[in-house]
Structure 1
Amino acid sequence: MLRNWYGRLGLATKQFIFLFSVTLVFFLVLAWTNLSEAERLFKEQVTADTELLLARTNQYIDASLDNIENIVLLLASRSELLDASREEEAIGVLNHYASYNNSMARTLYLIRADGKVYANNQVVYEIVGNPHLQRLYDEAEDNYGALNVSEPYDSPISGHTLAYTMPITGRDKQVLGVVVAELDLERLTTRIAPMIYQSFVLLSSEGRVINRLVPGDDLLPYQPRVYPPELETSFAERLSGLKLGVSSLDSGERPLLIVKSNKNRLGWSLIAFIEEARLYRNLETLYSNYRTASTAWIGILLVSAYLISRSFTRPIRRLVDKMDRVHDVQVIPRLSVTRGDEIGRLARSYNAMLERIQQLLVETRRAEARKKEYELKMLRSQIAPHFLYNTLACISSLAKQRKIEEVRETIRSLVGLLSLSFDKHGEYVSLAEELEGIAMYMHIQQVRYGPQYTYTLDVEEALLPLPVLKLSLQPLVENALLHGIVPQGGGCIQIRGRLERGMVRIYVRDDGCGMPRRQAAAMLGTGEEAEAKQRFTGIGLANVHERIRIHYGSAYGLRIGSRPGVGTSIRLQFPVLPAADPGAGSPKLEQN
């Protein structure tokens, strides 16, 4: 169906559709490829920037933790502060380190082996206490003197925190006490939050959240009715199993793009969350630019394809219009050739073809004229011998009868008739001259057959000057005489001429024996059958009929009507031609 519809379209429409479709598909594929590549590059750039931010944030966290480690190491090296007599000094030192500007320490403790605890906020500690210190003391003591970092927990003094612990040993490696430094995780979160513009989570080596979560962050799933906010357990477990780098994760309501950093020296992992919808919203400007560019490009493509199709097909359409308007090949407008491409060559070939056609038409008209002239000469040559044969036969018969005077009169009529027929140039004579020739012919026949063979003339005076074809009536009269009257031993031939319906009509009637209708129709035919049936006059009538049709057209000629025992009537019809000098040649026939 589509193929048939496309096949019925014009050349310009086909070319327009083809150019537009191919270019549009190419543009859409190219635009889609570029847009996908731009989207991929933008996504890679965002994730690369996030990874860089996470790496720098990890470096900052490590640097901040270095301060805590230094404080813990310094306090662990001052075992003298555990003396009971130096309690005030110990509390002062703890206050000094805790108040240090860059310190992330929230609360510092010195725990003696006997259970005595010194804190930088000694009064608060004595009032509130801290139930986690004994556990921290035991973990530090079991760690063989190394620096230990606990898992996050909630302290009554420091809030959500984790602790650095390290045992204080004497000279004999005996544990005298433990240094405990609880981190200010809220300060840590506050400091690293501006460095990462996405939501983030800092996980411990065991997968627990270290940083303080923001209550207003609706990107991550939180446990309901829990404060401070805590991640859903299943979501937190899934975070622990993520691989390093970029990955995708569904939070339950929206897909998230997750960037996980390498672990720092404490085994912590920093994870940043990017909402994919927000990422694509950032790409909306790019999409908008592509839509605008696509709309403009499609508009330009439409106009360009139309102009290209028009530039190629307009000369062809002009050529087709010129060819469709060609009705008269004698007057054909030439195409102006202004192009040097194949279309210009086509126009030049068309002009050359028209020139050849006009030359062939001229040659054809000349050949037809010569052929017509040869045919007329042949027809005349057929009529003249036939007439002479019959006339000479008549003279021979008179001579045998020794009718010298009749022979003399017949020869005189014959000479006049031949002079009338052959001494004048051209195909036409006046109707009066043609009737004069009929009178001479009938005189010859009356001398031969006797006075019982008569003829009458009834021709309008206005028709006598009109030109007629030479020897167009004589064969009709001859046919009426020899085949109508002679077989029955006498009769009358009537010749009547009238102007009817703007045409000249001459009727030759006889009251002879007549003939059947089929035989009358065959007398105007051609071929061997007609020639055999009408050995003499049949050929003459057919030739007269053909001569009239050649000169005047197919609407004119002879018409024969006959009835056996009644007679025969032949009508000769030709148009009214202006009177002219018969010796000047053929008069001109006005063609409608």
Structure 2
Amino acid sequence: MRRRISLPLKLFFIVFAFVLGCIILISQLSYRYVQKEIRTNDIYYTNQILDKVDQYFTVNFASFQTILFSVETSVNANIDKTEVIKEQLRELYELNSNYVSNIYLINRDLSIVGGSTPTRIFDEPLAERQPLFVAADKNRRTTFVSDPYKSKYSGWTVTMVRYLNGAPYPMAIAVDLDLNAIEETLFKINKQEQMNLALITASGKIIAGFSENRGPLTVQDHTFSIGETPAEQILDTTETSLQLHTKDGLPVSLLKKPTEKFNWTIISVNDESRLKAALTRLETYYIALLAAGLILSLFISFLIAKYIRNPLYALKTKMKRVEQGILTTTITINRDDEFGDLSRAFDRMLQQIVELIQRAELHNELERKLEIQVLQSQINPHFLYNTLGSISNVIRLGQIEKVDVVIGSLISLLEYGIDDASEKVSLRQELRNVADYIEIQNIRYNRNFQLIENIEAGLMDFPVFRMLLQPLVENSIFHGYNGGGIEGPITIHAYKDGGIVIIEVVDQGEGIPADKINRILISEPGDMEVKRKRIGLTNIHGRIRLHYGEQFGLQIISIPKETTRIRALFPSAMLKGDASW
């Protein structure tokens, strides 16, 4: 017989050969590939940051232009109202004080009307405003942006100035930018992204940045250099990416991007410390080997899953169907390994379970039918015994003219009672049968037991057991009205209460003592006369509980000398057409 190689051994050889070959290959290539990818991603990421910073300055430029136009409109509208102009400049400055140092008007004599607190007080002419006023006068249709300079009242700043067109005398509008706010924004980016950003003018002066994180830079007099390369030379090159070296010979990567609105340049200087940190975290070949092992493990898992997927999926599907109660499921796994053995053993076990369930169901059904036959046989003799007694009593009383009525009613009762007990009847049929029964009892006892029907709409066709109501009515006559000794009404109610249908028989007779109610529905060996008198109720109670559960059956509510109610409880789901026992 050929020796079969087990599934675990097959998988071991496949995994061992594949892992060994992949680790040898990946360990040779991973480091260079990772280094290249990190460098590429670092450049791409830095360019993304530069684009975001440029967008930030573009938005600010639009805001500053809006301020200038607002001032121009306000001044032209109130040219003769100096106090109004001062107040509006003050309000506009306070509204934008987060990113501007001052908003003011420059007169021809270089005096000002200022918006900030110092310039509202000290408005004397200053020579530092001369270049601003001259530039505005030469470019009356555009906005002039100055180089950074040291202002007496605004500190290190850049001024945006625009000539006030429409004024009766030469005048310019100026906005001093708060370079400290710009620099603080750049510092936050530098700290969060571990970068070294700065904003540079076309002449190479630093507007903001570099102060907290100079790295390889040499900063002096608001300009900078990298190694032997000055800022002017860096800005003159057309290339956006430069590789430079510090005085110590360390490599430095520089990226630059001109701003869209200002004549400025955003530059990023990186000494490759981030790249080295990333590569250090990988711990060269060891970490690269672990990464390769992770990828390799995933791939191997895929191969293993693919190899065992079909039989495992088939077994899982088969078990799920069995869980859902589909015991006849058949999914064949034609394999000469452990999965095949497991599938065949499962099929054999499932077949045995099906056979056991079938035998159990057959046994239960037979037992159920036997119980029904026994219970039904208990009702019929009891009914015949009492009905024949009624005929005997009529003849004894000499009421010959009523014999035909009694016999006619008896024939109807017998035809109704000997029909197939396994079939349900409507409540309407039961009421008609009870009417025949009371007709006999009225003649037998020479009494008038009035039958009152109070049936809720829709319940006349409710399915009930055959011979359900007659034992209940008989109990009212025999126990409630002392076996015909007194007469009174017998009321039959039928109504729904939640998920239950209640059919009750009510009499106004002697009632049942409280100490006997709990024993009425319990079949116990004892006095045969007592047992015979309550055999009808016991059987009805047993039939209902047998077929619908312990929560259903009969209930007895009695107030001695006033009223007795015997209730039969059924599930209301039978209204939907459930005609099974």
TM-score bucket (shorter structure): 0.3 to 0.5
TM-score, normalised with respect to structure 1: 0.42
Larger Rg: 1
